[in-house]
Structure 1
């Protein structure tokens, strides 16, 4: 949970440095779990579809910058520029390549984006 809180507070607009796999995947897991929880609560309360869509829109807007930041820092951790995130614009193949990048281990030691957060 500390990784999620860090991304949502101190690293909200941070595109510098590096983010470990652990930070990225815990952030992604918490986002997913909170999304499922919102869906369950909305179903139990019997909210209208327009209200649910508004909640999802607000949640997406709140998460946009921290998610972008942690993804860029994750790419920095494997010695890739943050511009590689634009691969997501290529249907099917782009998101698959980014997914594979997110599975790769950190570049050992320092790289051009800073010291390794792993060591």
Structure 2
């Protein structure tokens, strides 16, 4: 949960680097909360004619999720513009998944210091 809150505290910080741990913990908790809110919207609120908690959550976390993805790409010494490869169906998602799973650059790179050394 600490990594999720860390990403939210750095809401729109696109510079720097993000460790795999930061990215994947944020992604896992984000998916879990999204599923819970979608289920809540569908089951409980649809009978009242209102369903928007997931939409509000999605809008609130859109910028931090992009920021952590860009910082994750920076950790692998790639520009944030690589996110645009997701436009290519199927292949783009696979490429981004491989990048997200790849170990970051050891030591300093053009995007900053190694986040593993900063935390340790």
Change in CA separation of 1:107 and 1:57 when aligned onto 2, cut-off 3 Å: same
Return 39-48 or 88-97, whichever deviates more. Answer: 39-48
| 1:79-94 equivalences in 2 (<5 Å) | 79-94=77-92
2:68 corresponding residue in structure 1: 70
- Residue among 55, 58, 65 paired with 1:57: 55
Gap runs ≥5 in structure 2: none
Work out the number of aligned pairs and report it. Answer: 117
1:99 corresponding residue in structure 2: 97
Q: Secondary structure at the match of 1:113?
A: coil
- Off by >4 Å, runs of 4+ in structure 1: none
Gap runs ≥5 in structure 1: none
Q: Secondary structure at the match of 2:46?
A: coil
Quote the RMSD (CA, aligned, Å). Answer: 1.7
2:115 corresponding residue in structure 1: 117
Q: TM-score normalized by structure 2? A: 0.89
1:13 corresponding residue in structure 2: 12
